[in-house]
Amino acid sequence: MNLVRKRFSLREIMNVVRKGFSLIEIMIVVLIIGVLMAGAFGGMRYLQRVRVQTTRSKLAAVDQMLEQFNVTVGEYPTDLQELVDGPSKPQLQRRWGEALAEEDELRDSWGNEFVFTVQPKGSRPPYELFSIGSKGDSQIFSPRSQEVS
């Protein structure tokens, strides 16, 4: 009886013996997924902070536009659209020059319109201007709206 012994390579033996993933391989995959998710969430938090800061800057710019409107026309606008279209009161239109703002300047970083309310004459601050934030659950006030008398 002539038996021929075949030599198997280590790779062939491992392919026969190996049927699944080892614990180490699974742990490495879970670790990689965790690192990727942490990076994604960190990026989202950073983006949120950038949007809040951009909104604060836009609110400060709108504060300046409102003050310029007040100096030019003699009173604050009744709504922010007057910064684009001019005063709604006919007697104030003769003092009006050119538009102080464009439509996109009157929106926050999430695309929401700023909330603007004129206070009674002599009140400090003279108006309230703020953003409702990303989901409408927070308020970001303009620097002038935070002044205390």
- Tell me the average confidence (pLDDT) per consecutive run of 10 residues in the chain, 149 residues long: 65 65 86 86 83 93 92 89 87 81 90 91 88 83 78
pLDDT value, residue 121: 84
pLDDT value, residue 144: 83
Query: Is the pTM above the cut of 0.85?
Result: no
Instruction: Name the CATH architecture for the domain at 10-146.
Output: 2-Layer Sandwich (3.30)
From residue 6, alpha-carbon distances to 1, 14, 17, 55, 101 in Å are 16, 16, 17, 75, 85
The domain spans of the chain are 10-146
Asked whether 117 and 29 are in contact (CB, 8 A), the reply is: no
Asked whether 131 and 115 are in contact (CB, 8 A), the reply is: yes
